[in-house]
Each structure stands twice: as C-alpha cells, then as structure tokens.
Structure 1
Amino acid sequence: MNDDMTSPAGSRTKNVLSTRSVFGAPCWVSLTSRDLTATEEFYSAVLGWRWRPARLGDRFRIALADGAPVAGIAAVAAMWQMAVAWTPYFAVISADQAAARVSERGGTAAVGPISLPPGRAALLADRDGATFGVWEGELFTDWETWRRAQPAFIRLHTRDAFDSAIFYGEVLDWASDLPGCCEVHYEGNEVVLRSRGDVVARIESGALESAPDPTIRPHWQVHFYTDDVEACARAAELNGGSVLSENADEAVLRDRDGAQFTVTSRRTP
C-alpha cells in the first residue's frame, strides 16, 4: 500500500523503515469520505492541514501537517458503500497471517489482504465490530517523525478492555518474545500499549456491542495533537461539524460527514 492508496507507505526516503521495525504499533491513519472537497476544507480549517494529490486519482489525497504526511483521505464512502470513519493501521510482519488470526478468533476480514507494492494490506474488524487495518511493508517515512507530526495516539472504546487486549495481542504479537514488539501494561481501568517507550494506543471498557449510538459502540478513536483545543472545537462548529464533548485538554469532534475524532492538547502528558 502506498501513499496513493491513502495508506502507510509511499514517499521514499533514504532511510525507509519497514513494518518489521515497529511491528504491532499503529503506523498510519486513514479516513473514508463522501466529498473530498468538503473534507479538505473542514480539516484545513480545524487542524491546519494542507494537501497533496495522489497518483491513484482525484478521489485520493494525502494530508500534510507542517509539510509531513499525517493521514490519507479517500472519497470512496458513497461509491463503495462504506461507513465514513477514521481507521488506524497497525504494522505487521505478515498481513496474511494477521488476517488469518483475526478470522480464527472471531473477527472479520473485510477487505484483503491485497498486494499494494511495496507491501500488503487488509481492512479488518475485531470480534466486537471495531474496524482497523494492518500493513506489511515499507513505511512512508520515519515512524517517529510521523507520530510527532500530529497523530498523538489511538484509543479503542470497547466492551471489555482485557478481552480486547488478548485479541489484539494474539493478532499483532503484542507482549511477545519477538524483538521490538509492543509492551502492554494495565494502568487503572485501561490497557496501555507502548512502542519504543511511547504510549501509542489505549484500550478502555464501556462501549456497548449493540448500542444504537455509534459513539458508544466499539470503535477505534484517533487523537490528533493541537496547540489550541478550543480553537479546533469552534472551527469544527463553524465548518459544519459538531462537538460531542470538550474540556481544556481534549475535545471529541465530528466532521461534516459524521466521522468522529479527538483533538488533544500537546500539553497533555
């Protein structure tokens, strides 16, 4: 999968890393959209993103924060009858193996694995229905540069954090004896995932599997850093989005299409 597919790899650097260097960790985020122009305008206003085209065609864009690629946008939700949502991708050694593990454990392989040189990708769902992706191959840039450009971390809101940690751990080789794997810790009521010492994901209990409200169904929530949470929230409201919750350090927002994401203050530990 390359940047043309709004996915984890593509723009090559002299020191391109592969998923073997950060396997099991989040390595990219992507958004399905109904209207590319409206999506660009919204995230430019809220997060200050700029855009570059992708060779795949007019339906795809790469979001840039301070010149660094941070996310992929694909205006395919209406065409492919997909939900409008942010999706995290996890680095794996083998996309085929990860997809097989998901199916064996009661999850779903929605798309793929498919070959997208220089790697392979799959769009999956865990056994509670939370959607995520896996990517095998070269990363688009240095992983730490990507993380510090804007994505802060991701959080899984799910029915049972402990059960979900076991599921993802078995699929993604968390807390295994493989060199460089992610570390899993239980802190309070959350499962905390660390890679290279950084917190990259959190899992918390409470979401209801069959809840009618998508905000309380199991889902992965993408958090983006910002210097001004309040300004992002007001910009979201002024540009056709909405604010689901807000405090000094964090706001949960919806874009014009209904995709949910969180802005988190850079001051937050």
Structure 2
Amino acid sequence: MKLVEPVSGGPCWVELSTSDVPAAQTFYAALFGWRSETDPRPEAGGYTVARLGEDAVAALSPSYRPDQTPAWTVSFATEDTDATAGAVRSAGGTLLIEPMDVFDLGRFAVAADPSGAVFSLWQARSFAGAGRLGEPGTLGWAELRTPDPSGALAFYPSVFGWTVNASEHYTQWGVNGADFGGMTAMGKDDGPETPPHWLPYFAVTEVETTAATALGAGGDQLVPPMSLPGGRWIAVLSDPQGAAFGIHTP
C-alpha cells in the first residue's frame, strides 16, 4: 500500500464481525502481536480495538445477528458521510446502515456496491482511523472480489474519485495515483456460497511463517503461500470462526 495514513477516499479502518471476540483476540494476538482493549461502555456493545504499541490498527466486534457470517469489513474515509452515502445511491449501490454518529469519534455508514460487496464509510471527528497502514501487522492492501468488474469500474470512481491502474491481469485502485488496493473477478473457484466482498490483506514480514502460525492457532489456509512477480508473497487465510483475510509482504 502506498498510502501510509488515512486520506479521503482511501481505506482508513478494518473491522471484524465475529461470533467469538475473545477467541479472535487470542488468534490475532498470536498472528500479528495485537493488544486488544474492549470499550467498557454498555452502549459500545463489546467493541474491541486492536493496537500495535499505542496505535489503533483494527477492531473486533460481536456479530450484530446470530446468523451473521464472521467477516472483515473495510472502511473508506470520507469528508462527508451523508454526501458519500448519496453518491452510493446515485451510482446504484445501497445503504445497509444509514449515516449515524458514533459518540464523538466520527460519522459512520455501511453500504454495498451494485454487486453486493459490503464496505463502510467513515467521516473522522476525534478518531481518524488506523494509526498505521502498510506496516507488518496492519492493513496493507484491500482487494475487491466481484463477479462484475466493469460495474465496479463505473461505481467506485464515481463514488470516491479513485484512480484506476489497470493491466491485462489486474486492476489497482488509488487515490490521486497512490495505489491502495485492487480488484479481481470472481470465478468458479470461489464457490456459489461466496458473495462478492472486500478482502483485507495485512502486511507481514514473512508469509510462510505467518501462515504456519495461523494453522497452529486454529485457522485455515484458503490460498497457500505463493510468490508473485517482483519477489512478493501472498496467502489467504481464515481465522477459527471462518473470517477470511489475506497476508502479504509489503
């Protein structure tokens, strides 16, 4: 990720909805060294912030519904959540949670693109988002997996003003040319039960070692470690509750 801090239009936060927050705390502490703190306020609903040192880097939250599938959600920064929510609707997306204030921290909404891939909007007030991006143990890339790449190419630049760096093999998203993520077309390997989604990739020092740690901690490998051109490595894993995420070398 070329972005090293939250900027308008770029990813600023990543949040796990899970059926077992304590188990997730244990798993991700083993994987990334996160130290987690649960908000004690009853109205916070058990919201737990994961930190590296003193920097907030992610959140773990109890599932909103008993039947909800554990999953990570990527949040994108905006200067005006209500205006961006309107842009989502105008571009053919939907609002799953209407804009709302979160204490004095910021203004929040949950949306889905026309294919159904879910993401969040965040307008910062006292909380800007992740204190680190692109470092080991933090969000390093965000990848959209969609059955409709052409629709996504129309939707996201319209909503966020993203720049597009497309080659024959891969499309990258950016803010003013600073790439932060990409897009791949879903295929038969995804399975009929896999919905369109945003997949966060966390930066790690060594992919094979981290993948082995995940297996030892009760996780699974969905895509085993593999090398990419340029010497980079990636893998796609799932935690013990089934939430999928990627890891990569920066």
Tell me if 1:100 matches 2:86.
Answer: yes
Tell me if 1:41 matches 2:23.
Answer: no
Residue 163 (structure 1) aligns with: 151
Out of 228, 240, 243, the position equivalent to 2:218 is: 240
Q: Whole-Å Cα distance in 2 between the matches of residues 136 and 254 of structure 1?
A: 29
* TM-score, structure 2 as length reference: 0.83
In the alignment, residue 256 of structure 1 is paired with which amino acid?
P
Residue segments in structure 1 that go unaligned for 5+ positions in a row: 1-16, 175-182
In the alignment, residue 194 of structure 1 is paired with which amino acid?
G
Measured at CA, do residues 119 and 77 of structure 1 come closer, stay the same or move farther in structure 2, by a change above 3 Å? Answer: closer
What is the Cα deviation at residue 156 of structure 1? 0.3
Residue segments in structure 2 that go unaligned for 5+ positions in a row: 227-232
Measured at CA, do residues 88 and 235 of structure 1 come closer, stay the same or move farther in structure 2, by a change above 3 Å? Answer: same
Contact 2:13 2:129 in 1 (8 A): no
Contact 2:12 2:128 in 1 (8 A): no
What is the Cα deviation at residue 191 of structure 1? 2.3
Q: Whole-Å Cα distance in 2 between the matches of residues 148 and 104 of structure 1?
A: 32
Residue 12 (structure 1) aligns with: none
Secondary structure of 2:63's partner? coil
Contact 2:92 2:155 in 1 (8 A): no
* TM-score, structure 1 as length reference: 0.78
Matches within 5 A, 1:113-192: 113-116=99-102, 117-138=104-125, 140=127, 145-149=131-135, 150-174=138-162, 183-192=163-172
Measured at CA, do residues 44 and 254 of structure 1 come closer, stay the same or move farther in structure 2, by a change above 3 Å? Answer: same
Residue 28 (structure 1) aligns with: 13
Q: Segments of 4+ in structure 1 off by > 4 A?
A: none
Q: Whole-Å Cα distance in 2 between the matches of residues 136 and 227 of structure 1?
A: 31
Q: Whole-Å Cα distance in 1 between the matches of residues 126 and 169 of structure 2?
A: 32
Measured at CA, do residues 235 and 139 of structure 1 come closer, stay the same or move farther in structure 2, by a change above 3 Å? Answer: farther
Question: How many residue pairs are counted as aligned between the two chains?
Answer: 234
Residue 193 (structure 1) aligns with: 173
In the alignment, residue 143 of structure 2 is paired with which amino acid?
R
Residue 230 (structure 2) aligns with: none
